């Protein structure tokens, strides 16, 4: 069993997730500033939420990116001011997308996957969305400033 409380294991997990975020944003054509070495919020090895610096407003968060044992995705900081709001926003979109996928329909504004495996992926996406929505609603997971 992997010990994610071990600082070396944790640092490696962070580096791998950070690389995933960078690769994903590049593939999506998102130009951005820096991404820190550690997420703002995480539960290893399941989920991590990363602030992504804006190029338009250096020093400010332009996006929040999420990855782990879930799909990698991002949301504008205009829709989410902190990691908790980012988790809720992304999970809500996933829940909506899973409904479309389960009905064999394409979401009107975005696509998850290539469309060929929608019937198989829809319940998995819905399950992960439900978990993230539960976590975002649970105050025990979040330190409020």
Distance CA 20, CA 28 (A): 12
Tokens 């976590």 -> residue: 135
Q: Which two tokens stand for residue 105?
A: 């329909």
Whole-model pTM?
0.91
Count of residues making up the chain: 145
| Half-sphere exposure of residue 16: CA atoms within 13 angstroms, side-chain side | 12
pLDDT in tens, the chain (145 residues): 889 899 999 999 999 999 999 999 999 999 999 998 999 999 999 999 999 999 999 999 999 999 999 999 999 999 999 999 999 999 999 999 999 989 888 888 877 777 678 888 899 999 999 999 999 999 998 875 4
Contact 65, 32 (CB under 8 A): no
């Amino acid at each position: 069993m992997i010990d994610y409380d071990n600082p070396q294991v944790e640092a490696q997990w962070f580096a791998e997730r950070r690389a995933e975020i960078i690769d994903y944003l590049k593939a999506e054509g998102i130009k951005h500033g820096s991404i820190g070495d550690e997420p703002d919020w995480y539960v290893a090895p399941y989920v991590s939420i990363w602030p992504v610096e804006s190029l338009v407003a250096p020093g400010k968060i332009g996006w929040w990116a999420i990855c782990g044992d879930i799909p990698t995705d991002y949301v504008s900081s205009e829709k989410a001011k902190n990691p908790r709001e980012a988790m809720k926003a992304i999970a809500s979109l996933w829940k909506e997308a899973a409904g479309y996928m389960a009905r064999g329909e394409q979401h009107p504004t975005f696509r998850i996957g290539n469309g060929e495996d929608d019937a198989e992926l829809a319940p998995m996406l819905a399950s992960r969305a439900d978990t993230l929505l539960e976590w975002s609603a649970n105050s025990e997971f979040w330190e409020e400033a």
